[in-house]
Structures are given as structure tokens and as C-alpha cells.
């Protein structure tokens, strides 16, 4: 089954404690993205990747890092989380051309 | 900068009461307009892609249409299971082909 898998699904943590949210896709897609979703603001892109070792900033990259060492994986790293990063996060992937994105089920992060 | 505006923000319908959701957009070279459905606690689920003005796509009670400035998602005789948030997104023609989302329309269908 084609899918995008995120882990963990839920996380409550404290300010300053480094965390990583993993994302893996099994569709051999080139493009992968991270979004955050906040009430009234919709989905906003954090970072994206066009292929292995090729990443770039989206609309709201501050406080986040990513890496793309393998085609299937695209982890999101919060080196020093702060309360304003409390949000619902989605990973997405898509193939080449004008293909729609496939989304994971989301990770709800609470930073206290 | 690409922009997507969806209206209304929320819509409450009686079962069987047809209506339309609107998605207005400005984009630097439209390569595709996408409609997604999002249920609470879930990721967006793909519904349709529209590529050019005049195009229409249908799936069960849903029909999506596209003009040069906006898209409509028509819902005919909705059922309670159609309750969800519907998201519109545009894909531009830039090097990365950036996708920009609207904030969605939350649809509630009352039995």
C-alpha cells in the first residue's frame, strides 16, 4: 500500500529539548515537504526537498532543520523547540510532474 | 506571491441540500489546482486535479470546475459522511513547482 508514515503521532515535550519527527514514503517519490497546520492559517510549508541531498526553505523555516540522505526518508528536526512550535505537522510526498501530494496522518506536537 | 482564498470558511447544510465551495487564486503560471478532503486528526486526502480553464472532474456527489481565476467544488445532495474540511491548493510553474494551500472550508452536513 502506498503511504507516507510519520512518527511519533503525538508528542508532548519541554522547551529546549531536541526532537526529531521521522517521515518515510514507499512510493519512490522525488519531492517531499514538511508543513505545519495552525487554526486560521492553513497549511504552511516549512521545508521541501526535490531529491536526495537537495533541500530548501519553505515559508516558515525558522527553528527547523531537515535532511534528505535517502530518497524515502525526510526527518524534521527541532534543535531547541519553543512553545510557538506547538502545532500539527504533516509530511507529504509527490512524484515528478504535476502530481498531487500524498500526506501522512500528522504529528501533533505540544511544546511546554 | 501565489495566493489561494477559500470561501466560505464554514458551511452547514441539511442532508440533500446542494451547494458550492469557492477557491479563488492568483498564481505565477498555474500547472495544476488540487482539491483535498481532510477529516479531523487525519492528513489531507486527494480528490481532484484540474489543469486548465474549462476542465471538470466528478466523483460521486462531488464535481470540481476551473476558470482562470477560481475553482468551485459542487456538492450535490450531500450526506453526513461528506462532512469534512475541503482544501484547495495550486501548483505553480516555478523551478520547484511550489504548492500553496488555502485555509479550507469546513463543511458540516446535518442528517
> pLDDT, tens digit, for every residue of B9-68?
999 999 999 999 999 999 888 889 999 999 998 999 999 999 999 999 999 999 999 999
Cis peptide before A8 (omega within 30 of 0): yes
Residue A3 exposure: Cα atoms within 13 Å on the Cβ side:
5
A48, burial (CB in 10 Å: exposed 0-12, middle 13-18, buried 19+): buried
pLDDT at B95: 65
Count the helix, strand and coil residues of chain B and give each as a percent rounded to the nearest 5. 5, 60, 40
CA neighbor of B42 nearest in space, from A49, A9, A20: A9
Beta bridge partners of A78: A19
Q: Which residues of B touch A42 (CB under 8 A)?
A: 87, 101-104
What pLDDT is attached to residue B99? 87
Query: What mean pLDDT do residues A60-82 have?
Result: 97
Mean pLDDT of the region A34-61: 92
Kindly give, in sequence order, each residue whose CB lies less than 8 Å from that of residue A51, ignoring residues fewer than 6 positions away. Answer: A30, A68, A71
Q: Which three cell numbers stand for residue A86?
A: 506547538
Q: Which residues are CB-neighbours of A97 under 8 A, at least 6 positions away?
A: none
Between B50 and A40, the more confident residue is B50
pLDDT value of residue A8: 97
> Using the beta-carbon criterion (under 8 Å), do B49 and A100 form an inter-chain contact?
yes
- Alpha-carbon distance of B45 to B86, in angstroms, equals 9
The answer to whether A102 contacts chain B (CB < 8 Å) is yes
Q: Is the pLDDT of residue B97 over 80?
A: no
| Contact assignment for B91 to A98 by CB distance below 8 Å | yes
> Which residues of B are less than 8 Å from A90 in CB distance?
43-44
CA distance A20 to chain B (A): 19
Rounded mean pLDDT, A51-64: 93
Chain B residues closer than 8 Å to A104 by CB: 43
The number of C-beta contacts closer than 8 angstroms across A and B is 51
Residues of A in contact with B91 (CB under 8 A): 98
- Tell me what pLDDT residue B21 has: 98
What is the total residue count of chain A? 112
| pLDDT at residue A97 tops 90 | no
Q: Note whether B51 contacts A48, CB cutoff 8 Å.
A: no
Smallest CA–CA distance, residue B66 to chain A, in Å, is: 16
For A23-42, b/e burial (b = at least 16 CB within 10 A) is: bbbeeebbbbbbbbbeeeeb
For A100, the closest of B34, B41, B98 (CB atoms) is B34
Residue A19: strand, helix, or coil: strand
Class of residue B30 by CB neighbours under 10 A (exposed 0-12, middle 13-18, buried 19+): buried
Amino acid at each position: 500500500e502506498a503511504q507516507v508514515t510519520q512518527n511519533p503521532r503525538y508528542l508532548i515535550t519541554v522547551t529546549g529539548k531536541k526532537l526529531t519527527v521521522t517521515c518515510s514514503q514507499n512510493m519512490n517519490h522525488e519531492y517531499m515537504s514538511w508543513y505545519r497546520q495552525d487554526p486560521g492559517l492553513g497549511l504552511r510549508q516549512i521545508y521541501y526537498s526535490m531529491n536526495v541531498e537537495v533541500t530548501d526553505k519553505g515559508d516558515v523555516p525558522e527553528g527547523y532543520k531537515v535532511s534528505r540522505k535517502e530518497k524515502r526518508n525526510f526527518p524534521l528536526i527541532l534543535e531547541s523547540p519553543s512553545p510557538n512550535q506547538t502545532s500539527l505537522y504533516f509530511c507529504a510526498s509527490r512524484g515528478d510532474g504535476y502530481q498531487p501530494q500524498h500526506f501522512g496522518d500528522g504529528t501533533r506536537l505540544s511544546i511546554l | 506571491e501565489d495566493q489561494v482564498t477559500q470561501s466560505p470558511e464554514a458551511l452547514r447544510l441539511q442532508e440533500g441540500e446542494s451547494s458550492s465551495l469557492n477557491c479563488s487564486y492568483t498564481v505565477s503560471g498555474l500547472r495544476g489546482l488540487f482539491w483535498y478532503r481532510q477529516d479531523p486528526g487525519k492528513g489531507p486526502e486527494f480528490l481532484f486535479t484540474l489543469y486548465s480553464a474549462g476542465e471538470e472532474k466528478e466523483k460521486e456527489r462531488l464535481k470540481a470546475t476551473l476558470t482562470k481565476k477560481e475553482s468551485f467544488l459542487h456538492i450535490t445532495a450531500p450526506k453526513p459522511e461528506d462532512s469534512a474540511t475541503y482544501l484547495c491548493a495550486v501548483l505553480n510553474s516555478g523551478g520547484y513547482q511550489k504548492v500553496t494551500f488555502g485555509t479550507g472550508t469546513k463543511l458540516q452536513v446535518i442528517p
